[in-house]
Amino acid sequence: MPPGGDDRLHPRSTRVNPVAGAARQPGRYVEGVARSDSARSLTRALNSDPRRAVLAVRTLVLVGVLITVPLTNPHLGVGSGGITAAIALGVTAAAWVFWQVFERSVPCTVAALTVLGLAGGVLAGLSPLSPALAVGCVVTSAAGVRLSTEVSLAITAATVAAFLATGIATGVPTETLVGYPFAWIGLWAFGLTRHAYLLRAEQAEQTLAETRRAREAETHAAALAERGRIAREIHDVLAHSLAAVSVNLQAAEGLLATLPDGNPELGKAIECIDRAGVLTREGLAEARRAIQALRGDTAPLADQLSALAKEWAADGDVPADFSVTGSARPVSPEAGLTAFRTAQEALTNARKHAPGQPVRISLEFSPEDIAVSVLNPMRAVGDGRPRGDAGTGYGLKGLRERAVLAGGTLDAGPVDGEWRVYLRIPA
């Protein structure tokens, strides 16, 4: 065995693992993590807003042109060539800033790129050995990406023409006169390719959105059809069964009425049958209301609550005030049924806990949601009037659960000496 090692190990296996080596060198490890984090942050920033990255690159190009062009011949302000270069450089900077500010406007973009192409062509012709070439590159590529083929071709042609006219006048070498236009035309062609790609991507997004909307419409239609089928099934079962129960109760009441009077149990039996008949009719009405909600052909919510208030007042001979605020509009069947059930349970609780007290029902419409409020005076301590059954306490709990399922909230409690049940639900 060689000293300090195992002869069974492959020689290459003794090399230091780069990751392990970095882990054993805290300085390099921290530096690597910092670099990777900064790279990821930069990538996320560029992906979140690509326009910001493009703006940064354009700004760097403009700054490079403004810094380097004055360092080349002709020097700015020296002779006719220097004066023309200074004017062209100023127009380039102004048109560039105008373009970045009003880039979202197509007419402003056309005007800015046209002026920028002419000024950039003149500047490249006056100073062919400077980065002024980059101005024409940015103009022709951006025109190809952003504008139509005809307009971008005209801007590219204007840029090339300005450069050729200035270059021939100043004696620019032939290879430069030929090379620059070909470079700009190539970038213009690249811009056209990019423009076509963006159009196809936009069309694909539109097609995907239309497909998604069509699928949602089909799903909604299928759900409505299934709800209608369920409603018909429930209607057939409940309507026939409850109607048969009601007929049998009426027949039993008629038979009991023919029996001799004087039996105290007979009166109780007739009273129970009457109560069962009332409950059967109420159950049938509630079943029909639920079926109408499933089928989406319910009456307006305001009419339902108004009728409920009138029925409650007629049954207990107690005043019931109903009011509507806001601009009334149709609401979804789910929201309407939740609001109706809330008012119904609140009236039942008012009759149980504060019999004989008037109630106020209000329906409020807002642009985003609706609110139903039921208020009744709280029963005074020591009030000797009979009190209804207090129930099990599951009514409000069930209403809260129903409100949460519908995306709303329900509050119940004393407010200024009154008991208030308040439901707010999107609709």
pLDDT one-digit tens code per residue, 366-401 = 989 999 999 998 865 555 444 444 443 447 888 888
Query: What is the crossing angle of helices 174-257 and 264-295, to 10°?
Result: 160
Calculate mean pLDDT across residues 11-26: 42
The Cα angle at residue 117 between residues 115 and 118, in degrees rounded to 5:
65
Say if residues 88 and 111 touch (Cβ distance below 8 Å): no
Q: What is the pLDDT of residue 12?
A: 43
Query: What does the chain come to in residues?
Result: 427
pLDDT band at 46 (very low <50, low <70, confident <90, very high): very low
Mean per-residue pLDDT of the chain: 78
**Please, what are the domains in the chain?**
27-195 (no CATH), 196-297 (1.10.287), 299-381+388-427 (3.30.565.10)
Q: What is the pLDDT of residue 409?
A: 93
| Distance between CA atoms of residues 160 and 158, nearest Å | 6
| Distance between CA atoms of residues 280 and 243, nearest Å | 8
Of residues 142 and 396, the one with the higher pLDDT is 142
Whether the pLDDT of residue 296 is over 70: the answer is: no
Whether the pLDDT of residue 45 is over 60: the answer is: no
pLDDT one-digit tens code per residue, 98-136 = 988 888 888 999 999 999 999 988 988 888 888 888 898
Whether the pLDDT of residue 321 is over 50: the answer is: yes
| Distance between CA atoms of residues 167 and 124, nearest Å | 8
Indicate the range of 159-168, 267-276, 382-391 predicted with least confidence: 382-391
**Residue appearing with tokens 């090379």:** 179
Calculate the CA dihedral of residues 203, 205, 211, 213 and round it to 10 degrees: -120
Which helix (H) or strand (E) segment holds residue 232: the answer is helix 174-257
Prediction pTM value: 0.45
Indicate the range of 203-207, 274-278, 305-309 predicted with least confidence: 274-278
List, in sequence order, every residue forming a beta bridge with 320; answer none if it has no partner: 359
| Distance between CA atoms of residues 410 and 400, nearest Å | 6
Q: What is the pLDDT of residue 237?
A: 67
Q: What is the pLDDT of residue 422?
A: 94
Calculate mean pLDDT across residues 51-66: 80
- Do strands 369-377 and 409-415 pair parallel, antiparallel, or not at all (unpaired)? unpaired
Q: What is the pLDDT of residue 57?
A: 81
Q: Torsions phi, psi of 258, nearest 5?
A: -80, -10
| Distance between CA atoms of residues 424 and 330, nearest Å | 16
pLDDT band at 82 (very low <50, low <70, confident <90, very high): confident
Q: Spell out the SS3 assignment of 288-331.
A: HHHHHHHHCCCCCHHHHHHHHHHHHHHHHCCCEEEEEECCCCCC
pLDDT one-digit tens code per residue, 235-262 = 666 666 666 677 777 777 676 666 666 6
Say if residues 145 and 198 touch (Cβ distance below 8 Å): yes
Whether the pLDDT of residue 195 is over 90: the answer is: no
Of residues 32 and 105, the one with the higher pLDDT is 105
